[in-house]
Structure 1
Amino acid sequence: MAHKGAAKGGGVAEGREQWSSQYGFLLAAIGSAVGLGNIWRFPGVAYENGGGAFLVPYLVALLTAGIPILLLDYSLGHRYRGSAPAAFRRLGRRFEALGWFQVAVAFVIATYYTVILAWSVRYVGFSVTEAWGEDPAGFFTGDFLQDAGATVTGDVVGGIFWPMVGLWVVALVVMLLGVRRGLEAVNKVAMPLLVVLFGALVVRALFLPGALSGLDAFFTPNWSALLDGSVWLAAYGQIFFSLSIAFGIMLTYASYLPRRSNLAPTGLVAAFANSSFELLAGIGVFATLGFMAVAQGVGFEELPGLTGPILSFVTFPEIISSMPGGPLFGVLFFLSLTLAGFTSLISILQVPSAALQEKFALSRRAATLVVVGGAAVLSVALYSTTSGLAVLDTVDYYVNNFGVVISALLMALLVTYGARKLPELNAHLNAFSTVRIGLWWRVLIAVVAPVLLALMVATAFVDRLSEPYSGYPWTFITIAGWGTLALIAVVAVVLSLVRWRRPVDDLIPEPVDVDERRTR
């Protein structure tokens, strides 16, 4: 039941920023989902987990967990018209901490996301002169990063520090401009440009000698891999890391939609657009790797790296140096990486910014200065140093494999069994969608997703208890990995106990009638 003072049809949304159109929201949602993981993570994960056969569990994961939880994010944001903490507070007062948990996860991710963009920006310039010389690996970890491993030195690397500062200034400007003039405007330019740049890169890759052998390695199915449970867990993990779900982004974005919107079809388009880009990235990356393998006369298993930073900043520079027109190829690749990463970064920053605006009655300018300023200071202090790579690697692993997955698990359980709002949210989706969402959605959220997510967390937990991640010292892992997760949890609880400076409990909109239908 709505509390006194609620305005049916969207009193909560009064005064809130909004997207200019459904198209603007869709581009922003795709811009958030299409990020670094699409380009440097998916191809390697697919290759290592059955090649072409991996597309089977990947598609199953998309349909049974990715899209359902994406729609859950949409329904929460659009129904309760607020940031993650506000939405969960309106769901039930005792659930607010989960919203702040998502905010804290997003904030932590933003701090290290920028350093990868700084690397990409520098490598755009390096590509022109092939500055890495004949030893891309030594250049990346030695000359460029001055990597000291897990030894924390505090020594700042100027070649990383200044690009990070520049990126944070650009992010600050975009965030200050707001949802419509900032986030939406950037995505309307960046996403079409990304498609053109990356499309040109893929076309060039397909005409390289050996490209077909690369595509053969990528698509040739190893059907026996489908009997391996770890392959299925890898597929679900990739979907979660790729779609920007369960840590406040899509929930917050959906809260800026006009009351009359078309939720489910937009979610389906965003999800399949993201997966299509991942497939395109796989084709481009493996066509290029095929050229490298043939040129060197080696098998794929002998290549230096098929995923993550090594793929982008070691393997690709080596390819660029050996291919015709390499500098132009390098510029296209690292510009694409930068654009994909930046559209994701600003979506991540919007999560804590929206939360502070609503909880503490701050203006967008004040909230943006706090969020971007705080994230920038931590980001530069932690990741522009000689120990930045090890810290980034560890924090990223623990936040994604535990923080995001636990957030999704709790969200599914609290909505279904704690607040018992799943039927109401199902009705809301159907009231504002031209595609009807049936009982299957509730079954997936209430049963299938929690089981799979719990299994993912348990598997990762057992793995990390048996041996330290990447062979780092246990002390370093405890502080950078488990310590980060503990800090996120503490911050979430503390912020949930702080009094709201703006009304929140008396602004819950009345639930829509199950038979209400969207009007065009």
Structure 2
Amino acid sequence: MSRAPSSASAVPQREQWTGQVGFILAAIGSAVGLGNIWRFPGVAYESGGGAFLIPYLVALLTAGIPILFLDYAIGHRGRGSAPLALRRIAGKFGEGIGWFQVAITAVIAIYYTGVLAWAASYFVFSFNEKWGEDTTGFFVSDYLQMPTDGSVFTLDFVPGVLIPLVIMWVAVLLILGAGVVKGVQRANIIIIPLLAVTFLALVIRALFLPGALDGLTAFFTPDFSALANPGVWIAAYGQVFFSLSIAFGIMITYASYRRRKSNMTGAGLVVAFGNSSFEILAGIGVFATLGFFAFTHGTTVDQLEGLTGVGLAFMTFPAIVSEMPGGGWAGALFFGTLVLAGLTSLISILEVVIAALRDKFALSRIQAVASVGVLALLSVVLLGTTTGLIALDTIDQWSNNIGIVASAVVMSVVVIWVKGKGGELAAHLNTVSTFRVGRAWIFFTGILAPAVLAYILIARIVDLIQNGYEGYPGWYLGIAGWGIVALMLVAAIVLPLVRWRHDPDNFDAWPSTASLDVKGGRR
């Protein structure tokens, strides 16, 4: 590894998790987010029901866990934020990939906080079921106050959205300002068990509702003919990939805070299967509740609308709560769960940005957290207005389906093939971990996963170019969609040219490359 002149100081020693439990809870907190609750049930239902679990498990084993291990290996061996660790593993081009990932997280943080603000508002609304009988009209017109003249961007602020949005930003920045152990780790140690208890209570309540069995039957009844549809397999890979918070800097950053001698793969398996278990539990709870809703309306689950995403959370579920015995408390549990799950994910997203700023510019944690205030300002301008839902929907589509997928493909190919680091990273994992990886891991990480993800990426790009998105004007998609991706690319090109305040190459990997047996162990 190249070294700068010895007079340049090394990057200061990193903060560290206190132990295995703290890291696992933080990683699970990052992985378990809004997508687990409102995306997985709908995707599974539309992709073969119970049969979807087959491609889902295959995708988890052949792409999700392998790329999760890749993130862990890069972060733990490179001992840095995404730009720093990738630079140490794959040179300056790797640093560019790292800054691309930082840009992704910065963009996601801007709109993700908006959803948290909505969920926090609806948590309060639950106690008196403020949304009334027309839950869709209340959400769109009364709460968000979306314009009726077709406008896609305004600066008309909505106090009911703006206030909780500011509160969410203040809360998460205070947690991040306290540090890795006293802030991030302590928050996850409190929030994750609370999240598990509240969501389990919600699921148990749903299972005892009239019609719950019909909902579960609809969710789990396997349609094995769906397995012949390539789109179902693509959906499975996409769900696993997005759900685990991989390939956009989070797990690289979190792994860099682990001690040198730490079991990385064992913890990774706990995180991966813990996340998947929560998704399946979410599917049970959501569809038991939808079964009740269908029962009360004398219809079937397949006739219902709004089975995923924003529609499920803020339109369909409030309508269900209004008809449920003791519904106000169920609503509070549901929206409280959304806030808790989203908060831990947002913490991890912003930690990527903070860690990168600290490494590159030698900032203190407080200075880096203060710098993130710029994102808070952009979030308020975009999400605190009457067109916040449109901005969220558009930015989410491009940052996730284009940005994150492109990041995964490029990172895997560059690290495994261009730089030939597969053997070294596998040996590193095997040296510090109980569960050993080998050639199969390199194949899944370097060939299968990027091939599938490249197909998803190309198909999505073609679709967006040909068909646009949700009927939004082309000029708006060019700015809020393609323009966002262009900014990510600019960050990837320009920021590696900026001088480091400390020498990033003044670093000795442990175990040393010479002491590693690239066939799987330490010499």
CA contact (8 A) 2:266 2:433 kept: yes
Counterparts of 1:461 and 1:386, CA distance in 2: 28
What TM-score, normalized by structure 1, do the two folds share? 0.96
Counterpart in 1 of 2:447? 447
> Equivalent residue of 2:69, what SS?
helix
C-alpha displacement of 1:302: 2.6
Which residue does the alignment assign to 2:123?
Answer: 124
Q: Quote the Cα distance in structure 2 between the aligned partners of 1:500 and 1:44.
A: 45
Amino acid at match of 1:467: N
SS of equivalent residue, structure 2 residue 295: helix
Task: Determine the structure 1 residue equivalent to 2:82.
Answer: 84
Coordinate RMSD, CA, aligned: 1.6
DSSP 3-state at the match of 1:155 = coil
Q: Which residue of 2 aligns with 1:495?
A: 495
> 1:492 Cα shift?
2.0
Equivalence for 2:458: 458
- The reply on whether 1:41 has 2:39 as its aligned counterpart is yes
2:223 paired residue number? 222
Maintained 8 Å contact 2:2/2:505: no
Q: CA deviation at 1:514?
A: 3.0
1:416 paired with 2:416, answer yes
The 2-side partners of 1:46 and 1:247 are apart by 24
Question: Counterparts of 1:126 and 1:323 in 2: how far apart (Å)?
Answer: 15
Cα distance in 2 between the residues matched to 1:191 and 1:434: 25
1:15 equivalent in structure 2: 13
Secondary structure of the residue that 1:499 maps to in structure 2? coil
Report the count of equivalent residues: 513
Partner AA of 2:321 in structure 1: I
Q: What amino acid maps onto 1:261 in structure 2?
A: S
Match of 2:70 among 42, 47, 72: 72
1:170 aligns with 2:171: yes
Residue 384 of structure 2 corresponds to 384
Question: Alpha-carbon deviation of 1:506?
Answer: 2.0
Work out the CA distance in 2 between the residues paired with 1:197 and 1:457: 36
Letter in 2 for 1:301: D
Separation in 1, partners of 2:13, 2:266: 26
SS state at 1:52 partner: helix
Establish whether residue 113 from structure 1 lines up as the match of residue 106 from structure 2: no
Equivalent position of 2:61 in the other structure: 63
Cα deviations across residues 16-71 of structure 1 (Å, max 9, x unaligned)? 10001111000000000000000011001111111111111111111110000000
CA positional deviation for 1:172 = 1.2
How far, CA to CA, are the matches of 2:169 and 2:461 in structure 1?
34
1:317-466 paired onto structure 2 within 5 Å: 317-371=318-372, 373-466=373-466
Q: How far did 1:472 drift? A: 1.6
Partner of 1:140: 139
Please give the residue correspondences for 1:228-239 in structure 2 after superposition, counting only pairs within 5 Å.
228-239=229-240
Three-state SS of the structure 2 residue aligned to 1:495 is helix
Distance 1:517 1:454, change over 3 A: closer
CA deviations on 1:399-455 (whole Å, 9 max, x unpaired) are 110100000000100001221111000000000101111211011112111211110
**Counterpart contact for 1:2–1:508, Cα < 8 Å:** no
Separation (CA, whole Å) in 1 of partners of 2:431 and 2:329: 49
Counterparts of 1:58 and 1:196, CA distance in 2: 26
Letter of the structure 2 residue corresponding to residue 78 of structure 1: H
Residue pair 1:202, 1:284 contacting (<8 A) in 2 also: yes
Cα-to-partner distance string for 1:117-161 (whole Å, 9 max, x where unaligned): 000100011110010111000000000001126521210010010
CA displacement, residues 237-267 of structure 1 (integer Å, 9 cap, x when unaligned): 1111110000000000000000010010100
Aligned-pair CA distance for 1:13: 8.1
Provide the rounded CA distance (Å) in 2 between the counterparts of 1:120 and 1:239: 24
**Counterparts of residues 125-274 of structure 1 (less than 5 Å):** 125-148=124-147, 150-274=151-275
Q: Deviations over 1:178-236 (max 9, x none)?
A: 00000000000000000000000000000000000000000011111111111111111
Q: Is the Cα–Cα contact under 8 Å of residues 5 and 507 in structure 1 kept in the other structure?
A: no
Deviation at 1:512, TM superposition (A): 6.8
Secondary structure of 2:156's counterpart equals coil
8 Å CA contact 1:52–1:222 kept in 2: the answer is: yes
**Offset of residue 465 of structure 1:** 2.1
Deviation at 1:3, TM superposition (A): 4.6
Matches of residues 1-12 of structure 1 in structure 2 within 5 Å?
A: 3=3
Q: Does 1:285 align with 2:286?
A: yes
Q: Confirm or deny: 8 A CA contact 2:430 2:437 kept in the other structure.
A: yes
Taking the aligned partners of 2:294 and 2:162, their CA distance within structure 1 comes to 35
CA gap of 1:288–1:504, structure 2 versus 1, over 3 A, is same
Q: In structure 1, how many angstroms separate the alpha carbons of the residues matched to 2:217 and 2:230? A: 24
| Corresponding residue number in structure 1 for 2:97 | 98
The 10-residue stretch of structure 1 (445-454 or 19-28) with the greater mean CA deviation from structure 2: 445-454
Alpha carbons 1:2, 1:511 under 8 Å: kept: no
Amino acid at match of 2:327: G
Q: TM-score, normalised by structure 2?
A: 0.96
Worse overlay, 401-410 or 86-95: 86-95
Letter in 2 for 1:477: L
Q: Which amino acid aligns with 1:109?
A: I
Displacement, 1:493?
A: 1.2
Amino acid at match of 2:178: L
AA of the residue aligned to 1:221: P
Matching residue's letter, 2:205: R
Assess if the C-alpha contact under 8 Å between 1:409 and 1:454 holds in 2. yes
How many Å separate the matches in 1 of 2:207 and 2:183? 36
Residues 35 and 26 (structure 1), Cα distance of their counterparts in 2 relative to 1, 3 Å cut: same
SS at match of 1:191: helix
Match of 2:472 in 1: 472
Offset at 1:478?
1.5
Task: Give 1:513 shift.
Answer: 2.7
Asked whether the 8 Å contact 1:84–1:99 carries over to 2, the reply is yes
How many angstroms apart in 2 are the aligned matches of 1:175 and 1:320?
34
In 1, Cα distance between equivalents of 2:299 and 2:497: 59
1:53–1:220 contact (8 Å) kept in structure 2: yes
The letter of the residue matching 2:341 is A
